[in-house]
Structure 1
């Protein structure tokens, strides 16, 4: 970001309809959203990440129109505020559940991971040379794990078996699969009847993650039966 010329902020990002200024404004507002959740955990008073989806989108649209210097300062300042909030969290507050009720709630201890995931994925979206291939392997697996879980929960997700050829791991996504994390890829004769009905999508961990997140068309990927790649729902 600090190396981007002012003119580069208006250029398209990898996200349809968003410029780089939109992405950076979103990164700043995401920091504020994480602070809201930390405040919830610390005080016990519900404070949603965003007032509403509509307000979130409005703030990004308005913020993206600012001068590049203001956007740079906003990203740095909001990240600093988040760091202060993290350091100020009492130990017991990290176990509090925030973000909603029932299955939508999460322990506050998940918040640092959510922020790290946002930073990695959106650094790629800026289209200034960053790649998920730059991420540490455990981070990359965790990103793919998250995407598989959230996308696999959608009723519109086709049944797929993602096979990471570089790690020998697989994710069952959609259908009866829960997407609850990677497993060791089985031998062909050990795949269940349910797995056989799934479309096997083979590629490296980077290729699978980039495709499932909607950041590539998956041209490097191959299906087990030579059929076209399935179309997963859009990632959050």
Structure 2
């Protein structure tokens, strides 16, 4: 297993190399996912953690399968690098007002990832770091007003620019697990786990066919509702394992279902 998140200098309250430790604006609304005073440090710590995991892998190990079907570890690294570029385009949109989508289309996104994944290990490592640094620079150019400017996600959802760091938080922390190098959802910081559960259950509950369930964390006083309101399965387990269950990143062995089988939600992202 790679270094635990607590070993990353700065942790959840500051960052070592990536991200800005003193962002200039607070919340946009009341959603922590739009509170850059929280998400920028989470983003920086997650980037540091992911880079350390990648740097610890031998070059030939980057060609081994990841935890994502059909993708090698190189594909995961390439995706995270290209994602940083895409989010930097959104930051430029928020700063200039000139519409700059994340990707031209899904085909372009897939082609860029596939092409990037074939590059030498040294290039992959360098691009992972450089694109993350470039994203930090792009975000640091946003002032209090610009954080409120509206941009669009890759799925076409209108969002304030203040949500861009959260989009990156999801990428760096969950893809650290997807590298299949020993890191699990239990290694993610608790505050990131809880906010991911907020995000995932909210998105999945709006999808057709989402089962009804109440997710109850056994390691803190929190519950999350999944699917339509009404009778459903009660799922108990550590919050990180609940997250792993709804995102398909753990097998559910640490979860207990009362009133039925463990729910199988639709795909999240």
- TM over 0.5: same fold? yes
Q: Could you say which residue in structure 1 is the equivalent of 2:224?
A: 171
The answer to whether the Cα contact below 8 Å between 2:95 and 2:141 also exists between their aligned partners in 1 is no
Q: Could you say which residue in structure 1 is the equivalent of 2:268?
A: 235
Query: Which residue of the other structure, out of 72, 90, 95, is the alignment partner of 2:143?
Result: 90
Q: Could you say which residue in structure 2 is the equivalent of 1:204?
A: 238
**In the alignment, structure 1 residue 9 sits paired with structure 2 residue 62:** yes
The answer to whether the Cα contact below 8 Å between 1:214 and 1:235 also exists between their aligned partners in 2 is no
SS of aligned partner of 1:90: coil
Q: What is the CA–CA distance in structure 2 between the aligned matches of 1:86 and 1:141, rounded to whole Å?
A: 24
Q: Could you say which residue in structure 1 is the equivalent of 2:26?
A: none
Q: What is the CA–CA distance in structure 2 between the aligned matches of 1:26 and 1:231, rounded to whole Å?
A: 26
Q: CA deviation at 1:46?
A: 1.4
Task: Within 5 Å, give how 1:43-192 maps onto structure 2.
Answer: 43-99=96-152, 104-176=157-229
Q: What is the CA–CA distance in structure 2 between the aligned matches of 1:77 and 1:51, rounded to whole Å?
A: 22
Q: CA RMSD in A?
A: 1.5
Q: How many residues align?
A: 215
The answer to whether the Cα contact below 8 Å between 1:223 and 1:229 also exists between their aligned partners in 2 is yes
Structure with the greater relative contact order (CA < 8 A, sep ≥ 6): 1 or 2?
2
Deviation string, structure 1 residues 142-161 (Cα, Å, up to 9, x no partner): 01111111111111211111
Q: What is the CA–CA distance in structure 2 between the aligned matches of 1:32 and 1:130, rounded to whole Å?
A: 25
Q: What is the CA–CA distance in structure 2 between the aligned matches of 1:220 and 1:132, rounded to whole Å?
A: 12
Structure 1: gaps of 5 or more residues: 177-193
Structure 2: gaps of 5 or more residues: 1-53
Q: CA deviation at 1:90?
A: 2.5
SS of aligned partner of 1:91: coil
- More displaced stretch, 117-126 vs 103-112: 103-112
